[in-house]
Chain A
Amino acid sequence: MRRMLSGNQAIAQGAYEAGVRVGTAYPGTPSTEILESLSRFPEVRTLWAPNEKVALETGLGSAYAGVRTLVAMKHVGLNVAADPFFYGAYTGIEAGLVIVSADDPGMHSSQNEQDNRHYAKFAKVPMLEPSDSQEARDFTRIAFEISEQFDVPVLLRTTTRISHSHSPVEIESGPARPTHELPPYPRKPQKYVMIPAHARPRHVAVEERLQRLRRYSDETPLNRIEWGNRTLGIVTSGVAYAYAREIFPDASILKLGMSYPLPEGKVRTFAAGVEQLIVLEELDPFLEEEIRLLGIPVAHGKDIFPILGEFDPDIVREGARKAGLIPPGEPLPEPVALPLPPRPPVLCPGCPHRSVYTVLRRLKLIVNSDIGCYTLAVLPPLSTTDTMGCMGGSISMAYGAELAGRPERTVATIGDSTFFHSGIPALLNIAYNGGRTIVLVLDNRTTAMTGHQGHPGTGIGTRGERLHEIPIEDVARAFGLRRVFVVDAYDTRELRRVLEESLKAEEPTLIVARRACVLLPEARAARGPAYWVDPQRCNGCGLCFSIGCPAILKTPEGKAEIDGLLCAACDLCAQVCARKAIHPGEE
């Protein structure tokens, strides 16, 4: 049966067909749908871990215990999970373990565009890179075979354009590969307890394994030469292979499905068979450097194809034309010359983050922020965010500013899911070391940015099932914080009162600003009637425009008007209106 699947769906399908029984992840674009798709197979135990480190440690635990396991994360998630990733590379596993890293060239939804192929080389584990959904499914199955054959976790590396593109996939319907009888728990301390005395021989095993993997890489059909015209040879992998075929239909291509370790013999054969060898790869010159290290001349690589951003056919064609690899063609159409208003993502009408940031702006606080929808508050007209860079970083940034002894006051803003991800140790640090930092948790009852996944604060699992719910305020109180408050995020007066009081306090404060994301069904169901503007009272002062709500329009007379279809009845515009011109309900 052939079906259109995204790369992420295909990975889940391949994992299921390979007999995976445990799947763990923390949501992150572009990886999120892998675990969501895997959770649709009832045979597989799936869970959202609080963060990627916990996800991978859980995955290592089940792979040690003899069950095939898939762990998925976005590229920066592997930074969080790097510790168990390196450790797992030393120990190996009992049953197959595949770790998916979904990279985000072009930073569609990320803070950087790190190239996680380096992690394979760094940790000395094999890496597969599919070029479409069919390969995503096939390579996932093969990755489990490699994992068990070589006793090693395998890195399956995708990019946004592989994870989120759909193409036909031949799938096996029917039950997954049956799980074998579980062997007794492997009590092998020399292999699984990494005291230095054990780790030293394991490092030897890692280096020997790498040599065997090099031979495998040379033999496997995952790496194949597609001979064409011998004047130009292209070494490529992942989505770049698709652009190579598109822009250079006649060239010879060495397609690397297993891009680490590099198949040295095949590269030498290929280089000897073509007049000019080039490397086509997104982001870093990973393959290019490896090939140059073999002493093989590379005619073109990062000198003509950008190191920045995501490829598309135009970028690859332009690089090839400039280098004279293909004839110069017709000039391409230029974008429309009219000034077109941009359409950046904005906080939704009724978003509870908007009212919180309206208060923070009013109080002129320095805002150390975190990763989530609320990061959009950095854009005009709210313009109320000073730092943001990694999951859970906000709390310690604010604490650091306090330690620096500056006169300006700061506040940390962090989402509920992000708080559980890695905000907890940072809060512990403040509770332990003391001070008067203010932490504001924006609790919208979901992991909103990635499409509404559950987390410990919601007690909702991968299949929507009820699990244990852990209130954020209870965590703070358990750490000994005495100033813990819960306020309705829509109530700007109360939030302002609590914040002003906290600024005077000589001890740390945690405030939970709670209100469900407007896109959640419970929020939609509770929505009141739309608001309206009394044109007699409105004087066009613009206070309500300054909150940046898409439902508030400017009339030709410069007054405010509310789009009743968009309005979510959050009351914020009425709260900021100095003329009392905005009212709920029918006109």
Chain B
Amino acid sequence: MERADFLLVGVGGQGIVTASDILADVGLRAGYDVKKSEVHGMAQRGGAVTSHVRFGQRVYAPLIGRGQADFLVAFELLEALRWAHCLHPEGTALVNIQSLPPLAVTSGQARYPELEEVEQELARRARQVFFIEGLRTAQELGNVRVVGTVMLGALSALLPIPADLWEDVLGEHVPNRYLELNRQAFRSGRDFLSARLWPQGIEEGTGAARGHREAGLR
């Protein structure tokens, strides 16, 4: 993999910034030049959050444009739609199944899109789309704040970067008392996506697995 552009989107409080910090450090550790840029400032007040992370030999622009993202990692369904136009036609969408209706919806003035609409729109715009039970997995693990780690685990299954490296970086970003929880969340996400990619169970690290992963990238 020579380069990759990731767009992480969601709502303030979902852990987008931490997840993108971890992703950026993974890229740096894997030997890439990295740029990470997010829109925050009013994020704590329930606004949308987007974080642009770019890996490459030399990365210049801090922002990803339309039709450019190799990976759209959406923490929330409505935000997945809002940023769908940034997907490259050969790109991959990873979508956490969670809806956080904005005020216009909760107060009955606007309609929240149906899951089928999200599926259809993304299917038209990406080479592959994976819906991930990130929220449910996090709830089963007993802490909704690890949704981002589940999503990173799923993303890791698509990238030619060793799992050890991810877990090392995770350890640098997560307080010790939450580390085991986050490791479990990471592995849940990684195992879920690996099972989807290789239902017959291609052995980790084999040439076939690597080839399959490379195919996920343009």
Contact = CB atoms under 8 A, between A and B. Distances in A.
Partners in one complex: yes
A241 B87 CA distance: 25
A339 B117 CA distance: 12
A545 B21 contact: no
Nearest to B48: A343
Contacts of A4: 21, 24-25, 28, 34, 36
Contacts of B81: 336, 338, 340
Nearest to A312: B63
B103 A346 contact: yes
Contacts of B104: 341-342
A554 B33 contact: no
B121 A338 contact: yes
A343 B106 contact: no
A245 B111 CA distance: 42
A167 B24 CA distance: 9
A343 B44 contact: no
A164 B50 CA distance: 13
A164 B28 contact: no
B37 A161 contact: yes
Given A108-B39, A132-B35, A341 B46 contact: no
A348 B33 CA distance: 37
Interface stretch (A13-21, A257-265, A327-335, A482-490): A327-335
Nearest to B88: A333
A423 interface: no
B107 A345 contact: no
Interface string B73-85: 0000011011011
A342 B102 contact: yes
Interface stretch (B64-72, B159-167, B189-197): B64-72
B145 interface: no
Contacts of A550: 46, 103, 106
Contact of B60 (A108, A245, A341, A519): A245
Nearest to B49: A343
A224 interface: no
A29 B41 contact: yes
A313 B64 contact: yes
A109 B35 contact: no
Contacts of A29: 41
Contacts of A348: 44-46
A166 B65 contact: no
A556 B142 CA distance: 30
B140 to A, nearest CB: 17
A552 B102 contact: no
A239 B62 contact: yes
B114 to A, nearest CB: 10
A454 interface: no
Contacts of B111: 339, 341
Contacts of A167: 33-36, 59, 62
A92 B210 CA distance: 61
A380 B61 CA distance: 36
B65 A332 contact: yes
Contact of B33 (A168, A241, A335, A344): A168
A170 interface: no
A242 B62 contact: yes
Nearest to A451: B44
B110 interface: yes
Interface size on A, as a range, is 35 or more
A313 B48 CA distance: 21
Contacts of B34: 4, 166-168
Most buried by B among A166, A346, A347, A348: A166
B84 A242 contact: no
A312 B65 contact: yes
Contacts of B46: 343, 345-346, 348, 550
B65 A341 contact: no
B212 to A, nearest CB: 26
B72 to A, nearest CB: 12
A341 to B, nearest CB: 4
B125 interface: yes
A298 interface: no
Interface string A275-318: 00000000000000000000000000000000000001110010
A187 interface: no
A148 to B, nearest CB: 32
Given A165-B35, A336-B121, A554-B106, A347 B84 contact: no
Contacts of A373: 45
B119 interface: no
Interface in A94-114: 108-109
Nearest to A131: B60
Given A335-B84, A345-B46, A554-B106, A242 B60 contact: yes
Interface string B131-142: 000000000000
Given A346-B46, A348-B45, A545-B107, A313 B38 contact: no
A252 to B, nearest CB: 16
B35 A558 contact: no
A504 interface: no
B41 A166 contact: no
B218 to A, nearest CB: 14
A165 B41 CA distance: 13
A164 B40 contact: yes
B208 interface: no
A346 B68 CA distance: 30
Contact of B24 (A166, A239, A332, A345): A166
A33 to B, nearest CB: 11
A168 B28 contact: yes
A246 B61 contact: yes
A376 B63 CA distance: 27
Nearest to B38: A164
Contacts of A558: 108
A341 B110 CA distance: 6
B122 to A, nearest CB: 9
A437 B101 CA distance: 41
Contacts of B106: 550, 552-554
Contacts of B185: none
A65 B96 CA distance: 57
Nearest to B105: A341
Given A167-B34, A168-B28, 18 more contacts: A29-B41, A30-B41, A108-B39, A108-B41, A132-B62, A161-B37, A164-B38, A167-B33, A243-B60, A314-B66, A332-B85, A343-B46, A344-B102, A346-B47, A449-B42, A550-B106, A553-B106, A554-B108
26 contacts: A4-B34, A108-B39, A132-B62, A166-B35, A166-B37, A241-B60, A242-B61, A312-B61, A313-B61, A313-B68, A314-B65, A317-B65, A335-B84, A335-B85, A336-B81, A340-B78, A341-B78, A341-B110, A341-B112, A343-B47, A344-B103, A347-B45, A348-B45, A381-B107, A548-B107, A554-B107
Interface of A: 2, 4, 29-30, 108-109, 132, 161, 164-168, 239, 241-243, 245-246, 312-314, 317, 330, 332-336, 338-348, 373, 376, 381, 449, 451, 519, 545, 548, 550, 552-554, 558
The 9 A-B residue pairs with the shortest CB-CB distance, nearest first, are A341-B110, A313-B65, A345-B47, A165-B37, A345-B42, A554-B108, A345-B45, A165-B62, A332-B66
